[in-house]
Amino acid sequence: MASQRQLWTQGRRFNIVEISSRGGQELCRGYSSTVSQAQKLKNRAQEERLRQIRDRIIRVDHAGEYGANRIYAGQMAVLGKTKSGPLIQHMWDQEKVHLDIFNKLIPKYRARPTAFLPIWDIAGFALGAGTALLGEKAAMACTVAVEASIVEHYNNQIRELMASTDNLEDNKEILDYIQKCRDEEQEHHDTGLEQEAEKTPGYNLLYNAIKTGCKTAIWLSERV
Q: Is 18 known to sit in a ligand binding site?
A: no
Q: Is 47 known to sit in a ligand binding site?
A: no
Select the residue interacting with Fe ion from 58, 71, 95, 221 (CB under 5 A): 95
Residue 95 or 136 having the CB closest to Fe ion: 95
CB of 144 to Fe ion, least distance (A): 11
Residue closest to 171 by CA, chosen among 109, 83, 81, 104: 109
Q: Helix, strand or coil for residue 84?
A: coil
Residues contacting Fe ion: total by CB under 5 A: 6
Contact 140, 196 (CB under 8 A): yes
Q: Is 194 known to sit in a ligand binding site?
A: no
The rounded distance, in Å, linking the Cα atoms of 66 and 115 is: 13
Contact 146, 210 (CB under 8 A): yes
Q: Is 68 in the site for Fe ion (CB under 5 A)?
A: yes
The rounded distance, in Å, linking the Cα atoms of 190 and 207 is: 14
The rounded distance, in Å, linking the Cα atoms of 154 and 148 is: 10
Q: Which stretch binds Fe ion (CB under 5 A): 39-47, 61-69, 118-126, 203-211?
A: 61-69
Q: Is 147 known to sit in a ligand binding site?
A: yes
Per-residue x/- mask for Fe ion, residues 184 to 223, rule CB under 5 A?
-x--x-----------------------------------
Residue 17 or 97 having the CB closest to Fe ion: 97
Residue 123: partners with Cβ closer than 8 Å, 6 or more residues away: 67, 70, 217
CB of 195 to Fe ion, least distance (A): 14
CB of 130 to Fe ion, least distance (A): 18
Residue 48 or 93 having the CB closest to Fe ion: 93
Residue 147: partners with Cβ closer than 8 Å, 6 or more residues away: 185, 186, 188, 189, 192
In the complex, which residues of this chain contact Fe ion (CB under 5 A)?
Answer: 65, 68, 95, 98, 185, 188
